[in-house]
Amino acid sequence: MADRDPATLLRFITTEIWCNRRYELIDELISEDFVDHIEVQGLDRSGRARYLASARVVHDAFSDYREEAEFVVAERDLAVSHARITGTHDGDLMGLLPTGRTVDYNAIGILRFADGVVIERWGFGDSLKQMHQLGILD
């Protein structure tokens, strides 16, 4: 996949790892030296294991998690997506017991690639909207 452009790779990773839960692709698409700039409570900040753990945190909390990239732009070694995230909170979310509520919010993700693999990630989601939808904030 090293010959694919960053936008194509980002869409593929979103669909296959995040939506279809094809964790086996992490070894192929995420660098062993991966650095994550997204804060996830209790997780180390680097490596493939970190990437896998962050995916499992989300999937364990939202068994029907979906992430649809509404658009992707890329330049040089970076790809940026604006996505719609949906799911039902039916599992533990870092100590928050399942609420049974659904979430539907937007997020921006940024991946940096080298030789066809992700080496860095940044992301920003509408946390306030998500907390309202989960009933944490009124």
Report if residue 1 sits inside a domain: no
Range of the domain at 116: 6-82+109-123
Averaged confidence pLDDT in the chain: 94
pLDDT(110) > 80: yes
Report if residue 20 sits inside a domain: yes
Cα(98)–Cα(79) distance, integer angstroms: 33
Asked whether the beta carbons of 116 and 9 are under 8 A apart, the reply is yes
pLDDT above 90 covers a percentage of the chain that reads 88
Residue 68 belongs to domain with CATH number: 3.10.450.50
Report if residue 90 sits inside a domain: no
Report if residue 45 sits inside a domain: yes
Query: What's this model's pTM, rounded to 2 decimal places?
Result: 0.92
Give Cα 55 distance to the centre of its chain: 6
Number of domains present in the structure of the chain? 1
Report if residue 92 sits inside a domain: no
Report if residue 27 sits inside a domain: yes
How far CA 30 is from CA of 55, 106, 121, in Å, comes to 12, 24, 10
pLDDT confidence band for 124 (50 / 70 / 90): very high
For the segment 38-67, the average pLDDT, to the nearest whole number, is: 92
pLDDT(3) > 90: no
Report if residue 102 sits inside a domain: no
Q: Is the Cα torsion angle 55, 56, 60, 64 positive or negative in sign?
A: positive
